[in-house]
Amino acid sequence: MKKHKAEIVALTLLLGVLCYAFYDSNIESREQKIVLTNELFSMKEIKNKEEITMEMLEIPTEDLLKAQEENGEEENNNREEAASNSTELILANYNASLVKTVDNEVPYNEIISNQVVNYALKFVGNPYVYGGYSLTNGTDCSGFTKLIFDNYGITLPRSAPEQAYSGFRVELDNLMPGDLVFSGYGGQIGHVAIYIGNEKLVHALNSSVGIVVTSLYIMPIIDARRVA
């Protein structure tokens, strides 16, 4: 009986080894058909085949791929929206600062303004002609200012009342050389001149004196504008 038990045990062990060999060979042949990408090993190191799970080998379906794509697009949209909001905030702050600067300090180009003054003074003594448009042969007050500033690429309207809407308004105590000074009677603008500093103007005054330098207060001042 003991002899038969030994034979049974031996046979059982032999069958077990054969079954395992068959099972192991079968698994290996199946594994040759499986392509494992680097993504499968990104979370942890796989040391043997027993650690490979079916979830690792699962091929993504079209629905899963579509869902992943939609999630990626949503994340990109969120990032773009955040960047846009940030840009709008920066621009809003910049515009607010710009408005504050313009309100408190009118821009002034000293180089151009001084050139304007020096150029205008060259025509002192030339005639005044109502409706005229020549710095040498004769012009009126607004024709004089327009021609002077045209020489530096600054375009003004033709008449004095229209020029009073150009540039930035400045107070009399902040006048700088090159600013336009508007005057008249009864609150109506009828004349324009160029301030040259030291409370003096250069302008085409009238047909009696032509283009001259006079006091700032030769006529009632209504407004002053900075265009350069």
Active site residues: 141, 191, 203
Residue pair 181/152 in contact (Cβ under 8 Å)? The answer is no
The alpha-helical segments, DSSP class H, found in 50-188 are 54-57, 62-104, 110-121, 141-150, 160-163
Buried b (16+ CB within 10 A) or exposed e, 60-80: eeeeeeeeeeeeeeeeeeeee
Would residue 178 be called left, alpha or beta, if left means φ above 0 and alpha means ψ between -120 and 50 degrees? Answer: left
Instruction: Classify burial at 191, counting beta carbons within 10 Å of its beta carbon; exposed 0-12, middle 13-18, buried 19 or more.
Output: buried
Any idea how long the chain is?
228
| Secondary structure class of 35 (helix, strand, coil) | coil
Using DSSP's 3-state secondary structure scheme, residue 129 falls into coil
**What is the rounded end-to-end Cα distance, in angstroms, of the chain?**
123
